[in-house]
Chain A
């Protein structure tokens, strides 16, 4: 393997050293399908829970479907079911192409895949039967945590092997993000799920739980997401990233400042103030670093703005980047203590969480699903119109949800500040909460369109011309 493999994403040969195919397409496809299945579980949970807010929960008084438990199914399935499966699909596709080596073992890949889906099923069952753990974003029952730890490690070993086989050659940007994130995710999972559970209570435990909440998003989801962007955007646009120096600044800045942010989830709490101030400063620093990354990607697109119209994956990716910049700018503002006074504990935070987890990473995932699915089923997308429907329903849904909840958060914050009775906040929130459910229905409708479209595409007869191109697996090469 030569060095050019690592600097030109997507240009790697399809076959590795031996007779084994470089990319295990069955695993990629499996993770995409699993991701969509868990996404529907998570969406259903979110929809049901949102109906409790205007007292129309469809299953009142049923213990196993209690809204409080369903809420945890919603968040955990989004993180560990939807996003993790999707990211494994993206990494199983891109890592072998960027390194020139296949994953450590296809057997291990299958073991990880099936084991992970079984774990997720147990997580849903465990939470619904009342065995949730009191760690936000880590409500996976305590007795399942060891299995998750081992399985995450298995998944990481499988994917890090081709990276280590590069034997000290400089890596492409994507692999910086992936490799660092492998270490972070394993360490973070161990820290967040065991230390506050068994050893450190109160303020110290909350500091660690805060790091866990933030690191799950900042050190697992974010780096894998950006790694995939550094892979898919240049390969689809067929041009290199604008500035390698900015890529370096972006990665090392994020790697240093992101882990320091966690405590900003507990500002004005009993955690020592120096730690809280530190978290505020690092959060603003992250925003500056993120700006360099955003500039880098938008300069990569210069002169090719038309692809936002013509290429659905590129449109998904850049929509996600706009959301990412919005999120990070919002972060730098909302961690300021005077702003915290008003917006903390309100739906503003819920809006922010949905913006980052779905409008950013959801969009990127939908983008590379749109890119990969035709290659995996060896058929072109059946209908351009359905792709557009998927994009517009989802995007409209998530952005109106974000705006609704952000406005509502301000209203709630000021009502509390004005010492109005608690019920005033509830009465005035209900119209917003009804609308929030409607925006969620838009997202679900978009996803149903996509799932149907993917199924219908896979069932089409194979066109001869496409088979040729897909088996060559050259991503959009001219």
Chain B
């Protein structure tokens, strides 16, 4: 058999270079895109129609910073304004999440395995990733810290603020680095005159993390870690 034609630049550039590459993209990437064509990508504006309760909590907890960085929604808070601020916070929060490389140590999908359902919650489904905040997708490939796609409402805003400022203060065994640049000092007439509060990036990253999985919020506080707790959870 004469195989010399396989050794020419036309074959290596054309067949293997272009041909096989395009075949692989059609076979492996076009399929998922076509199968998900009926689940259109949600924009941040669509997502932010449901403002999560934790975002209202941030307004109550850090009113000065909230008004300084997002705006004053009035009292009682104007819902349209809150939706607009929520969208801003989500966008910025995701930006911070990417910039700091959070996604290299935290994944954002629960695998269909018993231990992951017990630890994190319901298995991920394709539609929950069809939104602008998964552009590019933040699935992750490593878990030094736990998965975050079921994080919404599991912990309080206060917990997250303390944890971002100094993870070991809250979880002594944590190896997560401190993110002190998410915080600023506020002058107060107590506590030695200074209080450390989240700045714009701090408020945004807390909002983003509290949003992750807010569409399947657990009914009670805490992560279900036992089989019976998980049963109640369902």
Contacts and interface: CB of A to CB of B under 8 A. Distances in A.
Interface in B182-231: 225
B91 to A, nearest CB: 14
Interface string A98-124: 000000000000000000000000000
A131 B35 contact: no
Interface of B: 3-4, 6-10, 12-13, 15-18, 20-21, 23-25, 27-29, 31-33, 35-36, 41, 96, 98-105, 107, 109, 111-113, 115, 118-119, 124-126, 128-132, 134-146, 168, 171, 173-175, 177-181, 225
Nearest to A67: B177
B104 A71 contact: yes
Interface in A161-204: 163-164, 166, 168-171, 175-176, 179-184, 187-188, 191, 196-204
A317 to B, nearest CB: 23
A136 B24 CA distance: 19
A265 B139 CA distance: 10
Given A169-B8, A201-B135, A263 B100 contact: no
A435 interface: no
A202 B17 contact: no
B231 to A, nearest CB: 15
A139 B102 CA distance: 13
Contacts of B179: 66
Interface string A245-279: 00010011001100110110110111110110011
Interface of A: 52-55, 57, 60-61, 63, 66-69, 71-72, 130-136, 139, 160, 163-164, 166, 168-171, 175-176, 179-184, 187-188, 191, 196-209, 211, 213, 215, 219, 248, 251-252, 255-256, 259-260, 262-263, 265-266, 268-272, 274-275, 278-279, 341, 344-346, 349-350, 416-419, 421-423, 426-427, 430
8 contacts: A57-B177, A136-B104, A197-B136, A202-B129, A206-B129, A248-B7, A418-B115, A427-B173
A345 B32 contact: no
Contact of B134 (A130, A166, A201, A416): A201
A346 B100 CA distance: 20
Contacts of A164: 9
Contacts of A71: 101, 104
A254 B17 CA distance: 12
A182 B139 CA distance: 29
A202 B130 contact: yes
Contacts of A171: 7-9, 12
A57 B175 CA distance: 10
Contacts of A136: 104, 141
3 tightest Cβ-Cβ pairs between the two chains A and B? A183-B17, A68-B101, A202-B129
A449 B118 CA distance: 50
A209 B28 contact: no
B28 A204 contact: no
Given A135-B136, A208-B29, A255-B16, A203 B126 contact: yes
Nearest to B96: A130
A202 B12 contact: no
Contacts of A209: 136-137, 139
B36 A202 contact: yes
Contacts, number: 236
A211 B25 contact: yes
Given A52-B177, A171-B12, A201-B132, A183 B18 contact: yes
A60 B9 contact: no
Contact of A60 (B102, B128, B132, B178): B178
A172 B177 CA distance: 51
A269 B141 contact: no
Contacts of B25: 191, 208, 211, 259
Contact of B129 (A57, A61, A213, A270): A270
Nearest to B171: A423
B98 A187 contact: no
Interface centre among B6, B29, B175 (most CB of A within 10 A): B29
A426 B173 contact: yes
B173 A271 contact: no
Contact of A68 (B125, B173, B174, B177): B177
Contact of A211 (B28, B109, B171, B178): B28
Interface centre among A135, A183, A417 (most CB of B within 10 A): A183
A295 B105 CA distance: 38
A209 to B, nearest CB: 6
A54 B175 contact: yes
